[in-house]
A = this chain, B = another copy of it.
Amino acid sequence: MSSSYYSQNNHGPFEIFDAGDFDLESGGKLRGLKLAYATFGTLNADKSNTILFPTWYSGTSKILELAYVGPGRALDPDKYFIILVNQIGNGLSSSPSNTPAPFNAAAFPEISIGDDVRAQHRLVTNHFGIERLALVLGGSMGAQQSFEWAVRYPDAVARVAPIAGTARETAHNRLLVQTFIEAITGDPAFDGGWYAEGAVHRGLRAHARAFAASGFSQKLFNTRGWAGLGFTTPEDFVAGFVENHFLPQDPNNLLLLARKWRNGDASRHTGGDLAAALGAIKAKTAIIAIDEDVFFPPDDIEAEQKLIPGAALKRVSSIWGHLALFGVDPAWNAAVDSILSHLLATPA
């Protein structure tokens, strides 16, 4: 399953950037690190029109394209050079599932949000020769990467728009992600990460159901908000939408991403002082929170927004909760487009 799932046919077209040998924050090394990315639009002469958009948990550049990029939208390829970059471990960039032995599968090294952002920085500077990004944005783990960009490279980020995510993991979010991890590792077929292809389907299903129980708002279930997509019962929706999303994915890939998510902490740059880390951000900042988000509740996002000089917080409601990110709620996407357009029009 996984070998065909992570294909150009399903998720392309995408390009591959070879970032070379790459020292990891964990102390290990990733040899011949590959970043998969897709671009839209044209880089302008002074290289000032680039938007960088990294992926979220279990997503690829394809869903970002479908949900956020298009003529007349905030992310308009007629105006901007848009780079959708796949995070390490998502199956398109270097991942447990596509790395040769001996560093494949369960032997793939641990990756941090900081590793992703440093690798993306190589892509942006070494490959494209871009010194400053007009905008970095992303949802969920993409928000983690966006914050990391703004903290780590304050002069390289003109604007930043983290959506439905935090710079530092909250205790509650870590607990939630831990339950997702354990749903997979608790399947005996997982076998320490050395499973036969397709064998961990029960763990992936349990993971999907745990993800669905918090990923969507309660109201979505209780108002049958998924009926418009053709689903008939809550069970039909969870299986047809969420299990269907996760079942073809590689368990080691998901675990790598989940641990990266759980360990996200931009304050490690400042010895754990989150106010110092976020206070050093120079980018024009518009943070977007989803009112119904259980993964990243607006209150937690607001607590961080207050630490960023001049940052705006925009709350947008969706009964889809955190997973409004997927592009399933046109009204939510329209509100986000409006916020992003306004941010892009702000001098920075």
Contact = CB atoms under 8 A, between A and B. Distances in A.
Interface of A: 170-176, 178-179, 182-183, 186-188, 202-203, 206, 209-210, 212-214, 218-222, 224, 234, 238, 294, 297, 299-300
9 A-B pairs with the lowest CB-CB distances in the bound complex, closest first: A172-B221, A171-B221, A171-B234, A172-B218, A188-B188, A170-B222, A179-B210, A175-B213, A176-B213
Between A212, A213, A294, the greatest number of chain B beta carbons within 10 A of the residue's beta carbon is seen for A213
Contact of A218 (B170, B186, B222): B170
A175 B206 contact: no
Contact of A209 (B178, B221, B294, B300): B178
Given A170-B221, A234-B171, A186 B212 contact: no
Nearest to A217: B172
Contact of A175 (B202, B221, B299): B221
Contact of A174 (B182, B187, B234): B234
A209 B173 CA distance: 12
A187 B214 CA distance: 22
Contacts of A299: 218-219
Contact of A202 (B186, B221, B300): B186
Nearest to A216: B172
A191 to B, nearest CB: 11
A206 B179 contact: yes
A100 B219 CA distance: 43
Contacts of A206: 179, 182-183, 186
A186 B209 CA distance: 13
A209 B175 contact: yes
A328 B178 CA distance: 25
27 contacts: A170-B218, A170-B222, A171-B222, A171-B234, A172-B213, A172-B218, A172-B220, A172-B221, A172-B222, A173-B218, A174-B234, A175-B209, A175-B234, A175-B238, A176-B213, A179-B209, A179-B213, A182-B206, A183-B186, A183-B206, A186-B186, A186-B187, A188-B188, A218-B294, A218-B297, A219-B299, A294-B294
Contacts of A174: 234
Contacts of A234: 171-172, 174-175
A221 B178 CA distance: 14
Between A202, A218, A220, A224, the greatest number of chain B beta carbons within 10 A of the residue's beta carbon is seen for A218
